[in-house]
Amino acid sequence: MSFSNVEEYMKQRDALIKEDRSLRREYMTVHLRSPLEVKADEMVRKLRAKEAETVWKEEHPDILHPFPGMEFLTGKRLIEKTKIFEVLSKVMPKGALLHAHFDATVNASFLLKLSLDQPALHVRVPEPLNAQNIASILPDFEPLPAQSYNFQGPSLTSSDYVPNTWVNIATAREKFDLVLGGPEGFDKWVIDSMMIRPAEAYGTHNTVYKIWRKFTSTFLVSRGLIRFMPVFRQYVKQFLMSSIEDGILYVEPRVNFLYKKMYGADGTETVTHREMLQVFEKVVQEVKDTLKEQGQENKFIGARIIYSTIKFLTPDELDWYIEDCIALKKEFPHLIAGFDLVGDENELRPIIDYVEPLLRFRKRQAEEGVDIPFILHAGETLGDGNTADDNMYDAILLGTKRIGHGFSIVKHPKLMEACRERGIAIEVCPISNEILRLTSSMPMHPLPIMLNNGVPVVLSSDDPSVFGNMGLTYDYFQVLVASEVTGLSTLGALARDSIEFSSMDTEQKEKARAAWEGVWKEFLEYVVEIESASTSAVDLASCHLPPPSLVRPSSPGPLADADSNRKRSRSPSDSDTKQYKRANTGVGPSDASHSNGAGSSAERNNMTSDATKSSSAADDNAASTPGSNRSDRQKDDGVKSSGDSGDAKASTSGEASSSTAASTVPPSANIHMRCLIVTQDASIIIGKGGSHVNEIREKSGARVMVSESIPGNPERILNVSGPLDAVSKAFGLIVRRINDEPFDVPSVPGSRAVTIKFMIPNSRMGSVIGKGGSKIKEIQDASGARLNASEGMLPGSTERVLSVAGVADAIHIATYYIGTILIEAQERMPSSSFSTYRPSSNSRRPTHNSGGSGGGGGSSYIPGYSHQIHGPPHHNPPQQLQTQQIYIPNDLVGCIIGKGGSKINEIRHMSASQIKIMEPGATGVGPNGAPGGSEGERLVVITGQPANIQMAVQLLYHRLEQEKQKQLRAQQQSSTSPSS
Of the pLDDT bands very low, low, confident and very high (cuts 50, 70, 90), residue 648 is very low
Is the domain spanning 596-828 CATH 3.30.428.10? The answer is no
Closest CA to 756 of 852, 880, 669: 852
Residue 224 phi, psi (nearest 5): -65, -25
Q: Give the count of beta carbons closer than 10 Å to the beta carbon of residue 548.
A: 17
Of 107-121, 168-182, 932-946, 964-978, where does mean pLDDT reach its minimum?
964-978
Q: What is the identity of the amino acid at 381?
A: T
Question: What is the mean pLDDT of the segment spanning 669-677?
Answer: 90
Q: What is the mean pLDDT of the segment spanning 546-560?
A: 43
Q: What does the pLDDT read at residue 145?
A: 96
- Angstrom CA distances, 697 to 239, 266, 319, 640, 691, stand at 44, 65, 60, 13, 10
Q: According to the model, what pLDDT value does residue 899 have?
A: 80
- Phi–psi pair at 827, nearest 5 degrees: -65, -35
**pLDDT given for residue 197 in this prediction:** 95
Across 351-365, 471-485, 705-719, least confident range: 705-719
CA-wise closest residue to 192 among 109, 303, 72, 304: 109
Statement: residue 583 has pLDDT above 80 = no
Percent of the chain with pLDDT over 70: 77
User: d(Cα 510, Cα 862) in Å, to the nearest integer?
Assistant: 10
Confidence class for position 931, pLDDT limits 50, 70, 90? low
According to DSSP, the residues that pair with 459 across neighbouring strands are: 428
Task: For residue 458, list its beta bridge partners.
Answer: 427
Q: Which of 566, 568, 688, 670 is nearest to 610 (CA)?
A: 670
Residue 373, CB-side half-sphere exposure with 13 Å CA sphere:
21
Helix (H, G, I), strand (E, B) or coil at 665: coil
Q: Residues 49, 51, 55, 56: is their CA dihedral positive or negative?
A: negative
Q: How far apart are CA 290 and CA 283, in angstroms?
A: 11
Q: Is the pLDDT of residue 757 over 50?
A: yes
pLDDT band for position 836 (cuts 50, 70, 90)? low
Q: Annotate 103-132 with b (16+ C-beta within 10 A) or e (fewer).
A: bbbbbbbbbbebbbebbbbbbbbeebbeee
**Residue 349: pLDDT over 70:** yes
Select, from the ranges 17-21, 193-197, 691-695, 852-856, the one with the highest average predicted confidence (pLDDT). 193-197
Q: What is the pLDDT of residue 538?
A: 36
Res 97 pLDDT > 90: yes
State which H helix or E strand residue 248 sits in.
strand 248-251
Helix boundaries (H) for 784-891: 808-828
CA angle at 214 for the pair 216 and 182, rounded to the nearest 5°: 110
Strand partners, 673: 720
Task: Label the pairing between strands 402-405 and 457-459.
Answer: unpaired
CA 788 and chain centroid, separation: 34
- What average pLDDT score do residues 140-159 get? 93
Q: What is the pLDDT of residue 329?
A: 98
Q: Is 851 left (phi over 0), alpha (psi -120 to 50) or beta?
A: left
Winning range, highest mean pLDDT, from 540-554, 781-795, 913-927: 781-795
Helix (H, G, I), strand (E, B) or coil at 803: strand
Task: Give the pLDDT band (50/70/90) at residue 976.
Answer: low
Which among 433, 555, 529 has a CA at the least distance from the CA of 482?
A: 433
For residue 158, name the pLDDT band (cuts at 50, 70, 90): very high
Measured CA to CA, the distance from residue 819 to residue 603 in angstroms comes to 17
Q: Name the band, by pLDDT with cuts 50, 70 and 90, for residue 957.
A: confident
Q: What is the DSSP letter of 225?
A: H
pLDDT digits (tens, 9 = 90+) for 272-330: 999 999 999 999 999 999 999 999 999 999 999 999 999 999 999 999 999 999 999 99
Highest mean pLDDT among 295-304, 537-546, 582-591, 850-859: 295-304
Architecture of the CATH domain 882-976: 2-Layer Sandwich (3.30)
Q: Identify which has the larger pLDDT, 487 or 630.
A: 487
Distance linking the first and last C-alpha atoms of the chain: 82
* 845 has a pLDDT exceeding 50: no
> What are the DSSP E strand ranges found in 62-139?
95-97, 121-124
- Among 378, 405, 432, smallest CA distance to 201 is for 432
Beta bridge mates, 167: 123
pLDDT number for residue 552: 47
Report yes or no: 457 and 445 within 8 Å, Cβ to Cβ: no
Give, in degrees to the nearest 5, the angle at Cα 182 between 178 and 183.
Answer: 170
Q: Are 505 and 513 in contact (CB under 8 A)?
A: no
Give which of 251, 309, 288 is closest to 461, Cα–Cα: 251
**607-634: per-residue pLDDT in tens?**
333 333 333 333 333 333 333 333 333 3
Name residue 719's beta-bridge partners. 674, 705
Question: Contact 315/356 with Cβ under 8 angstroms?
Answer: yes
Q: What is the mean pLDDT of residues 632-653?
A: 33
Res. 593: pLDDT tops 90: no
